């Protein structure tokens, strides 16, 4: 089902859902693993390796990093553990409180900013060497032109933008079908897709506020929004694995999940874009 809903209403509804997810994800994300000082989230292990060729000296240590849509901060504190000076941004006060608590427990410094990502430039102080976002982010946003403007505005000259997220063609698939079956729009028309699902992608618990709104964005729109905002595209890649189980048919592989081997090369699961601000 789709709806031409206002952004304020959709954002408020989605925030209620994400507030409900906080305790479920605190339990599901194995936060005790971070007690090992050498531990990094699997997402950050993958993303740091992908960013390395584009970073000064191949490392993020010593750089100012803004993590947009940071949720409970597991990836943000992993970036801090890698030596970055981090600022985590999210619209969920519960998620940011959880993130701040995790950072304090680990003795890691971080700044946390509660704001809608589409207003991030006005809410976040300073500019950054790297703006980072990864996994499950921009489908929650109706306006990618405005999003890309925030990214560009947060970057200092020469700064790097990195995103890895679920591929738009993946989100067009019916995750419960017996095969790779397209059921949802690949191309967006500005209308929100309405979901009523009490489950979440991690853990076995359920949320009270089950309704959410998401928007389809084809890969061309994502790339064009960044170019229009003034960024130079350096690298685009499509991947075959995901850090969460999208479908019951996906199977566990190192650092994530993938379609059965016979289908693995038929459809991408993620895309990665690396861009620079001139």
Entry pTM: 0.96
**Domains of the chain listed by start with CATH number:** 33-187+219-276 (3.40.50.150)
The predicted structure's pLDDT at residue 274 = 98
Average pLDDT of the chain, as a whole number = 96
Residue with the two structure tokens 């990195």: 162
Percent of the chain with pLDDT over 70: 99
The predicted structure's pLDDT at residue 80 = 98
Residue 166: phi, psi to the nearest 5? -60, 135
Percent of the chain with pLDDT over 90: 92
Contact 139, 216 (CB under 8 A): yes
The predicted structure's pLDDT at residue 4 = 79
Radius of gyration over every alpha carbon of the chain, rounded to an integer in angstroms: 18
The predicted structure's pLDDT at residue 205 = 86
The predicted structure's pLDDT at residue 204 = 81
pLDDT band at 1 (very low <50, low <70, confident <90, very high): low
Q: What pLDDT, in 10s, does the model give residues 32-53? A: 999 999 999 999 999 999 999 9
127 vs 205, more confident: 127
What is the pLDDT averaged over residues 206-212?
A: 92
Pairing of strands 270-276, 232-239: antiparallel
What is the pLDDT averaged over residues 102-119?
A: 98
H or E element: which one contains 149?
A: helix 144-154
pLDDT at residue 86 is higher than 90 = yes
């Amino acid at each position: 089902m789709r709806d031409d809903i206002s952004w304020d209403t959709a954002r408020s509804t989605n925030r209620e859902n994400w507030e409900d997810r906080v305790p479920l994800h605190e339990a599901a994300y194995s936060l005790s693993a971070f007690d090992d000082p050498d531990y990094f989230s699997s997402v950050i292990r993958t993303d740091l390796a992908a960013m390395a060729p584009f970073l000064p000296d191949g490392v993020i240590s010593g750089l100012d990093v803004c993590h947009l849509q940071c949720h409970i901060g597991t990836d943000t504190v992993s970036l801090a553990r890698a030596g970055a000076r981090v600022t985590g941004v999210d619209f969920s006060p519960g998620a940011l409180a959880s993130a701040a608590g995790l950072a304090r427990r680990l003795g890691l410094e971080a700044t946390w900013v509660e704001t809608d990502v589409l207003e991030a430039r006005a809410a976040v102080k300073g500019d950054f060497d790297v703006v980072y976002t990864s996994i499950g982010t921009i489908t929650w946003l109706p306006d990618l032109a405005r999003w890309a403007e925030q990214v560009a505005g947060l970057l200092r000259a020469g700064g790097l933008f990195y995103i890895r997220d679920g591929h738009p063609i993946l989100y067009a698939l019916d995750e419960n079908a017996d095969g790779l079956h397209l059921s949802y729009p690949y191309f967006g028309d500005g209308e929100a897709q309405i979901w009523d699902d009490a489950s979440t992608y991690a853990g076995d618990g359920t949320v009270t506020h089950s309704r959410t709104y998401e928007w389809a964005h084809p890969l061309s729109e994502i790339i064009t929004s960044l170019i229009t905002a003034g960024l130079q595209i350096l690298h685009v890649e499509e991947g075959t694995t995901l850090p969460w189980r999208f479908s019951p048919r996906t199977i566990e592989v190192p650092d994530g999940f993938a379609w059965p081997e016979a289908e693995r090369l038929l459809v991408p699961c993620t895309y990665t874009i690396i861009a620079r601000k001139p």
